Structure 1
Amino acid sequence: MTDSFDDPPPAPPSERASLADGLRFAFGTLSVLPARITRWDRPAARSGMACAPLVGLALGLLAAAAGALLLVLGGGPLLAAAVTVAVPAALTRGLHLDGLADTADGLGSAKPAEDALRIMKQSDIGPFGVISLLVVFLVQVAALANVYAEDGWASGALAAVLAAATARLAMTLASRAGVPAARPEGLGAAVAGVVPRRAAAAVAGAVALAATLAALPAGLPGAAQHAAAVAAGLLAAELLLRRCVRRFGGVTGDVFGALCEVAATAALLVLALG
């Protein structure tokens, strides 16, 4: 990765996208929530990927509401956790889980980058992909069920929101300047390197601060744990990102999906261990 490169100079006003354009790009690309994409260009992608954690916030709130409702209606923590995990998958058409499976197949193929990328584009799922999906889904459900059982619905809801926002924050950081695209086409090419590193760092700081403040009513240890969960999710995603860049020569849309799921899983693990 070429993160040592300086950020590109600010784009002139004619090449900038509005916040509304960015939000439409983010929600229209990263979810099935109603959003009409008005621009599909690099400026819109820059604004949109910077707004990606807001998509996570919306998906996390919807997931948390579904889980809390099940608990109120008498469903157990395990059932509530399974539904909470399923909601973001449904609201993204399973694209991020599909990206995780394809990335696992590509990484596990032990073939040259060009062949690995070809494997990732195939519609079928190989053994590495199946195993990855099972492990990630089981760990997310088990971790969230533990939070629901030990700390109650409010803590479980906060965990769901934090995991979803951290997952999309990982996408913001993967879109930072210096991270190349593995292919000349596709979502990866559209968003690779579009977010200046300072902007990506600012968004990461804002998400970490928000997570800490949201957990502060539970005490300083809880606030610190939630900050650590964000950090753990981003660290896990960064390690995977670096591996994918070395292996494939850059990022693809599948890699972004894998980063999302890995970040969410790591964040939930930290919250479950508290």
Structure 2
Amino acid sequence: MPTEARLADGVRLALTTFTTAPLRAGRVDRATAGTAMALAPAVGALLGALLGGVLLLAGAVTPPLVAAGLTVGLGALLTRGLHLDGLADTVDALGSYRRGEAALKIMKQPDVGPFGVVALVLVLLLQTAVLAELVGRDAVAALAAVVAGTAAGRLGVTLACRRGVPAARPEGLGALVAGTVGWVAPTVGALAVALLAAPAVPGRPWQGPLAVLGALAVAAGLLRHLVRRFGGITGDVLGALVEIVTTLSYLGLVLTG
């Protein structure tokens, strides 16, 4: 496949995987999937720019908590709630203390258990609280925080899809994307996200990058644990990493502000 065609298909796959963008799917294979997963942070940055803009506009006419709630809700809507669903399923499987196939069966169940409910409530509350705190800050810093945090969450997926990380199942999204990304994309992505985070803490440009890189370090440790428990990655694991890294990045940027 020509490089230009693979890139175009990868862009379409990245947008349709991480957002509700109404695009027609192109060719879908592991090469295209690798391109899409490498581009995940860029899609996150675009989504973060949109959400940051909504937060600032809503914050100008509504109380900060209302603006933050609307922004978090819009984020869930624009991603079909898939990442939140993955978080709930992953935490339910972890809470069962089961491993391998037994844990994967729990993740496939359509209902959400108590562990998943608690995880969803905690993540949504933290994201709303952090975004509400950003409303009263410098507009450039607030926008940088949302963009960097949202991009960092998708960079967690890029890290999880690097070579050497197996899929937990022979089918599904995990099987399609596992091991499709080399080390160049995560490295470049980490540097780009760190640069995006620099303006998030005015006067202390090193603290924003430190916050998002710290969140990614936590994600790397969590990923190793999930691979040991489940045997590899699944689409649910990728969704969980998005929400966890995004939340930790947002939180770190507020605490360092």
Taking structure 1 as the reference length, the TM-score comes to 0.88
**154 and 199 in structure 1: CA distance in 2 versus 1, 3 angstrom threshold:** closer
Task: Report the Cα offset of residue 182 of structure 1.
Answer: 0.2
CA distance in 1, matches of 2:166, 2:230: 10
Amino acid at match of 1:177: R
Q: Give the structure 2 partner of residue 137 of structure 1.
A: 124
Is 1:65 aligned with 2:53?
Answer: yes
Letter in 2 for 1:168: R
> What's the counterpart of residue 232 of structure 1?
214
After superposition, residues 100-115 of structure 1 pair within 5 angstroms as 100-115=87-102
Which residue number corresponds to residue 85 of structure 1? 72
Say if 2:250 is the partner of 1:264. no
Which residue pairs with 1:185 in the alignment?
A: 171
Partner of residue 237, structure 2: 255
2: CA distance, partners of 1:15 / 1:109: 44
Contact 1:63 1:83 in 2 (8 A): no
* Deviation string, structure 1 residues 55-88 (Cα, Å, up to 9, x no partner): 1112111211211111222x11111111222222
Give 3-state SS (helix, strand or coil) of 1:165's partner. helix
Residue 26 (1) aligns with residue 14 (2) = yes
Give how far 1:17 is off. 5.6
RMSD of the alignment, in Å? 1.8
| Residue equivalent to 1:244 | 226
* Larger deviation, residues 98-107 vs 82-91: 82-91
- Residue 199 of structure 1 and its aligned partner are, at CA, apart by 2.8
Report % sequence identity: 50
**How many residues matched?**
256
2: distance between equivalents of 1:134 and 1:120? 18
Whole-Å separation in 2 of the counterparts to 1:259 and 1:101: 11
Give the Cα separation in 2 of the matches to 1:258 and 1:96.
Answer: 6
The amino acid of 2:101's aligned partner reads E
2:190 aligned residue: 204
- What does residue 47 of structure 1 align with? 35
- Once the two structures are superposed, the pairs formed by residues 5-24 of structure 1 within 5 Å of their partners are 18-24=6-12
C-alpha distance in 1 between matches for 2:83 and 2:191: 24
Cα-to-partner distance string for 1:38-59 (whole Å, 9 max, x where unaligned): 1110110111111001111121
The 2-side partners of 1:147 and 1:224 are apart by 18
